[in-house]
């Protein structure tokens, strides 16, 4: 029987992207930059490969689809990196799904949401995330994967929620 940590290590990390992130590169480039979602996906796969991990990279514009993916992650994934995009500021349901997942969760935003409009300052997700990265652009995804690897490594137990 494989060691539990080894079994967890074989599961991919779910990298979940919320609404409008499919338009990255075209969408308000002065705010979100010129990186495309395809470029961020490649960055995630490359970063994961360097850590000995794999990534299941997804994007949806639909809240229920994102919630279903989080439910799936309960058993199928090692942890979750999520950019909830606009749902960050609106979705109690997505927050509840993440809390129920009982997995490490890293919240990522390309922009520094605290330097933007006041309605972006509150995140429903942050209260159930192990860590939050914002304002680091696409690099935040690489940082999130690196931190998720640390959190799920036996020598680095995850921080208390």
Binding site for ligand DHK (CB under 6 A): 20, 83, 85-86, 88, 109-111, 113, 120
Least Cβ distance, residue 156 to ligand DHK (angstroms):
26
The DSSP symbol for 84 reads -
Min separation Cβ 120 and ligand DHK, Å: 4
87 is catalytic: no
DSSP 25-78: TTS-HHHH-S--HHHHHHHHHHHHHHHT--EEEEE-S-HHHHHHHHHHHHHH-S
Annotated active-site residue in 109, 124, 141, 147:
109
State the minimum distance, in angstroms, from the CB of residue 110 to ligand DHK. 4
* Residue of 32, 87, 124, 141 with catalytic role: 32
20 vs 36, beta carbon nearer ligand DHK: 20
Closest distance between ligand DHK and the C-beta of residue 99, in Å? 20
Q: Are 24 and 35 in contact (CB under 8 A)?
A: yes
* Token pair of 93 as six digits: 């349901």
Minimal CA–CA distance to 53: which of 133, 125, 146?
Answer: 146
Query: Listing from the earlier edge strand, what are the strands of the sheet with 105-109?
Result: 55-59, 13-17, 79-83, 105-109, 131-134
Catalytic-residue membership of 77: no
Angstrom distance (rounded) from CA 76 to CA 154: 19
User: Among residues 8 and 143, whose Cβ is nearest to ligand DHK?
Assistant: 143
Query: Would you please indicate which residues are annotated as catalytic (active-site) residues?
Result: 32, 109
């Amino acid at each position: 029987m494989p060691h539990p940590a080894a079994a967890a290590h074989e599961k991919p990390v779910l990298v979940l992207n919320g609404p409008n992130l499919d338009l990255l590169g075209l969408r308000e480039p002065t705010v979100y930059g010129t990186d495309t979602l395809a470029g961020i996906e490649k960055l995630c796969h490359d970063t994961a490969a360097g850590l000995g991990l794999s990534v299941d990279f997804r994007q949806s514009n639909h809240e229920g689809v994102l919630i279903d993916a989080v439910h799936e992650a309960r058993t199928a994934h090692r942890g979750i990196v999520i950019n909830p995009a606009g749902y960050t500021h609106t979705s109690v349901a997505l927050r509840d799904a993440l809390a129920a997942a009982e997995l490490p969760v890293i919240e990522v935003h390309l922009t520094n949401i605290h330097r933007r409009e006041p309605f972006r300052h509150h995140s429903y997700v942050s209260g159930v995330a192990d860590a939050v990265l914002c304002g680091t652009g696409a690099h935040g995804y690489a940082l999130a994967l690196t931190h998720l690897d640390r959190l799920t490594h036996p020598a680095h137990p995850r921080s208390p929620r």
